[in-house]
Amino acid sequence: MKLTGAEIFLECLKREGVNTLFALPGGVVLKIFDILHQQKDVNVVLTRHEQGAGHMAEGYAKATGKAGVCLVTSGPGMTNVITALADAYMDSVPLVCFSGQVPTSLIGNDAFQEADNIGLSRPCTKYNFLVKDVNDLAVTIKEAFYVATTGRPGPVLVDIPKDVSMNKADFKYPGSVSIRGYNPTYDGNKWQIKQAAEAIMKARKPILYAGGGVIFSGASEELLELAELTHIPVDMTLMALGAFPGEHPLSMGMLGMHGTYWANMAMHYSDLVIAVGARFDDRVTGKVSEFCPQAKVIHIDIDPTSIRKNVNVDIPIVGDCKSVLRELVQVLRATVNGDQKDLRRPWLDQIREWQRAHPLAYEQDPNGAIKPQHLIKRVYELTKDRDPIVATDVGQHQMWSAQYFKLAKPNRWLTSGGLGTMGFGFPAAMGAQAAFPGKLVLCIAGDGSFQMNTQELATAVVSKLPVKVFIVNNRFHGMVRQWQDLFYEGRYASSYLDKTPDFVKLADAYGAVGLRASKVSEVDDVIREAMAVDKPVLIDVPVYQYENCYPMIPAGGCNHEMILTDPPELKKQQPAGAKVAGEDKDTVLTA
Amino acid sequence: MDHIISVIVENKFGVLSRVAGLFSGRGFNIESLSVAPTLDPSMSMMTIVTTGDDRIIEQIVKQLNKLIDVIKVVDLNESEFVERETALIKVHTKPEDRAEALRLADIFRARVVDSTPTTYTIEITGDTNKIEAIINLLQPLGIKELARTGRVAIAREPVRPAATQPKRVAKE
Ligand SMILES: Cc1cc2nc3c(=O)[nH]c(=O)nc-3n(C[C@H](O)[C@H](O)[C@H](O)COP(=O)(O)OP(=O)(O)OC[C@H]3O[C@@H](n4cnc5c(N)ncnc54)[C@H](O)[C@@H]3O)c2cc1C
Ligand SMILES: Cc1ncc(C[n+]2csc(CCOP(=O)(O)OP(=O)(O)O)c2C)c(N)n1
Ligand SMILES: [Mg+2]
């Protein structure tokens, strides 16, 4: 029997096990929406903006490890989803995005709502396809899922012209596909793995540098095994949080620009860096020429381009983290004899000393304002028993969340690292909630970031996605203000957010629940209250406005030279119209 | 130093823009690029001449390999290779220069492929040095137009001593 392109689309999604589609309609995809409207296998989450659909699909993908799927219309639908594609590309998130296109006969004619979707998405997708013939649709969709989810994952776009969704073809879904120019390497070179094992046995001050690849590869168990076998401490990148249990004695927490003092010191003074699925981003290396001066580097990565892109590598191993770590552990098991713990003691003692010298710390505000760290720490402490999924936006609140949330398991942490996309957190949390309806899903949002995708409150309410959004409300683009404090003599150019809406009323207007904590003593209660509600909740927490996030390695600085507190000369400067922290805490923005 | 990279790609629309986009997006140089079909019509061969230090060339090769439409990448500089380029040079000749133009063409074993009372069009094939050399010598006569193909190259077949030639063993 022949099916229309739209029907083939639906059949393919079912075969790929897609149960949720984040979408927003338009003229050229109406045929597809019409088919979706008449079925129950795929839950269609109607978003209020295509960027929201893209980030929701990302959240879904990060939480499940499967491809997230979204559907947008031609022209403006496509341009709106670009930010999410670019975000997914930078953070290697498996995504399949379907875009509508004008009928094939009109392509190139500047037709109504036409955009060059292939050209627009080329630099921000792993691959993209224009389907010109309905007979190619099924195999193209199969290839799209295959490319998005294998090797180094990433977003793939499938552009479907209107006539292709209307025309009919025989439906046959291929069982497998192969693409001759695409053959990711999964197993590492055995000889190289042996070299790595030897280097590990010889090292006195080794450090594991775990990245997002550990999570994509599902290699957390293997990483734990390796660390425990060899007693090597583990630094994590922002993208790796949860890959190694955050409260494990060998966990050093996050390294890099806002990483812990001891994670960065350990990296800097190590004699062997074992990078596992990490890409030596500049937020981690700092000044490359002075990065880990005494260390040999082992780099395990599935993407050869990641290796030696930024730093020199002594033992490169191209392969999947899980498979390579498994092999490495096996080789090491044959060599390691019980004394690793003693051997490692001086190094671990040294690290503990660094940790004692400069733990993560903050002081309560003498005027009684809520410190952002306090809020975030309490959210962590009061929710951790429920093993929540945590999304963040981008800014200071993101960094504090990274410091204070010591996640125990992978796929619990949704954040935008590579692109640093404000507005990511809320829709990403919703995507994860759509995947796991019964789970506690939190979003730690910035007041600036949240306002970039506020419209999705409607989606949360209508689609019953009861995420709990804590707005760390400093009435600032706090991260920008921090840089202005440190590098622009406190001139707060466009970082003060005047006329922030009353988020409690805003939540109410959308039919969500709005709560607020105005005093330190109310923080715990508001967290508990929010968790008890089975609806989307927006929790506005006005915090001390001028808090800065430390440690901090200035961009291009050396990893062992961290700024640990506000420099003494820093003069707190008030932008016109801003209220002093503490003064406005009860009346903030509602008066 | 110039690097010549030969790239076998899928013969599909859009592949050239993926390769070109990779170079421009990552700030790699392209000195020249030529594309033509291979014996297998489903594939094309691109010859890319680029520059960069070892680290950059390594990245270029890896990034090219990463493109899904790229089937094979060979950095020709890793072994011996032969390279050629063809140029068509239209020389504006005054009557007193015509003999000189022909003489130069002859020295370089170039051919005259078109002639009018005031111009010669000279076809020359060779390595870059040779092409640059004839251009330099023809310039004083007045070059009106110049079209160059960009370089193409192919690896030299390694010559093995007779003793190590693999023997063809007949199947029993
Ligand atoms: C405001 C802000 C501040 C930031 N500060 C910090 C900071 O202090 N510290 C920090 O770490 N980051 C920070 N970041 C994030 C930073 O920009 C990078 O996104 C991050 O460091 C990259 O993490 P990663 O190296 O784990 O790489 P990812 O982007 O997660 O890349 C994963 C790597 O693993 C590889 N890979 C994928 N799958 C596999 C597999 N199956 N097997 C093997 N390898 C695989 C990929 O090829 C890639 O090389 C910050 C971001 C923002 C927005
Ligand atoms: C889309 C986008 N625009 C601009 C930026 C630059 N930027 C980085 S952090 C930041 C401020 C974020 O403010 P907020 O969400 O309130 O978080 P805070 O730092 O105050 O916690 C800005 C503007 C960005 N990352 N993303
Ligand atoms: Mg803010």
Q: Is A74 helix (H, G, I), strand (E, B) or coil?
A: coil
pLDDT of residue A582: 40
Name residues contacting ligand 1 (CB within 6 A): A 91-92, 152, 211-213, 216-217, 237-240, 254-259, 277-279, 281, 283-284, 301-303, 306, 320-321, 394, 398-399, 417-418, 420, 479
CA distances from B150 to B48, B79, B127 (A): 9, 20, 10
Which of A147, A185, A237, A302 to mutate to test ligand 1, by most ligand atoms within 8 A of the CB atom? Answer: A237
**H, E, C per residue of A449-507:** HHCCCHHHHHHHHHCCCCCEEEEEECCECHHHHHHHHHHCCCCCCCCECCCCCCHHHHH
Q: Using the mean position of ligand 1's atoms as its centre, give its distance from the Cα of residue A282 in Å.
A: 10
Sequence-distant (6+) residues with CB within 8 A of A472 are A372, A375, A376, A396, A397, A400, A444, A445, A446, A447, A478, A541, A543
B135 touches chain A (CB under 8 A): no
What ipTM was estimated for this complex? 0.91
Question: A with B: how many residue pairs have Cβ under 8 Å apart?
Answer: 33
The alpha-carbon gap from A221 to the nearest alpha carbon of chain B, in Å, equals: 29
Which atom of ligand 1 lies closest to the CA of A211? Answer: 26
d(C-alpha A471, C-alpha A538), whole Å: 7
Which atom of ligand 1 lies closest to the CA of A91? Answer: 29
Instruction: From first to last of the 591 residues of chain A, give the pLDDT tens digit.
Output: 899 999 999 999 999 999 999 999 999 999 999 999 999 999 999 999 999 999 999 999 999 999 999 999 999 999 999 999 999 999 999 999 999 999 999 999 999 999 999 999 999 999 999 999 999 999 999 999 999 999 999 999 999 999 999 999 999 999 999 999 999 999 999 999 999 999 999 999 999 999 999 999 999 999 999 999 999 999 999 999 999 999 999 999 999 999 999 999 999 999 999 999 999 999 999 999 999 999 999 999 999 999 999 999 999 999 999 999 999 999 999 988 777 888 999 999 999 999 999 999 999 999 999 999 999 999 999 999 999 999 999 999 999 999 999 999 999 999 999 999 999 999 999 999 999 999 999 999 999 999 999 999 999 999 999 999 999 999 999 999 999 999 999 999 999 998 889 999 999 999 999 999 999 999 999 999 999 999 999 999 999 999 999 999 998 899 999 999 999 887 655 554 444 444 444 334 332
**By the 8 A CB rule, do A471 and A503 touch?**
yes
**By the 8 A CB rule, do A278 and A240 touch?**
yes
A479 within ligand 2 shell (Cβ under 6 A): yes
d(C-alpha A546, C-alpha A582), whole Å: 11
Measured N-to-C along each axis, helices A261-269 and A340-357 cross at an angle, to the nearest 10 degrees, of 130
Q: Using the mean position of ligand 1's atoms as its centre, give its distance from the Cα of residue A299 in Å.
A: 14
Q: Residues of B with CB below 8 A from A147's CB? A: 68
Q: Which ligand is nearest to the CA of A154?
A: 1
What would the pLDDT profile of B72-81 be if each residue is shown by its tens digit?
A: 999 999 999 9
**By the 8 A CB rule, do A423 and A449 touch?**
yes
Q: Is A218 helix (H, G, I), strand (E, B) or coil?
A: coil
Instruction: Report DSSP letters for chain B, one per residue.
Output: -EEEEEEEEE--TTHHHHHHHHHHHTT---SEEEEEE-SSTTEEEEEEEEE--HHHHHHHHHHHHHSTTEEEEEEGGGS-EEEEEEEEEEEE--GGGHHHHHHHHHHTT-EEEEEETTEEEEEEEE-HHHHHHHHHHHGGG-EEEEEE---EEEEPPPPPPGGGSPPPPPP-
pLDDT of residue A36: 98
- Residue A459 structure tokens: 């989606």
B75 touches chain A (CB under 8 A): no
The alpha-carbon gap from B63 to the nearest alpha carbon of chain A, in Å, equals: 6
Q: Using the mean position of ligand 3's atoms as its centre, give its distance from the Cα of residue A122 in Å.
A: 33
The alpha-carbon gap from B62 to the nearest alpha carbon of chain A, in Å, equals: 5
Q: Using the mean position of ligand 3's atoms as its centre, give its distance from the Cα of residue A502 in Å.
A: 14
d(C-alpha A294, C-alpha A269), whole Å: 7
Contact between chains at A179 and B68 (C-beta distance less than 8 A): yes
- Which one of A131, A133, A182 makes the best mutation probe of the B interface by having the most chain B beta carbons within 10 Å? A182
Q: Residues of A with CB below 8 A from B28's CB? A: none
Sequence-distant (6+) residues with CB within 8 A of A391 are A59, A414, A415, A424, A425, A426, A428, A429, A432, A441, A442, A443, A444, A467
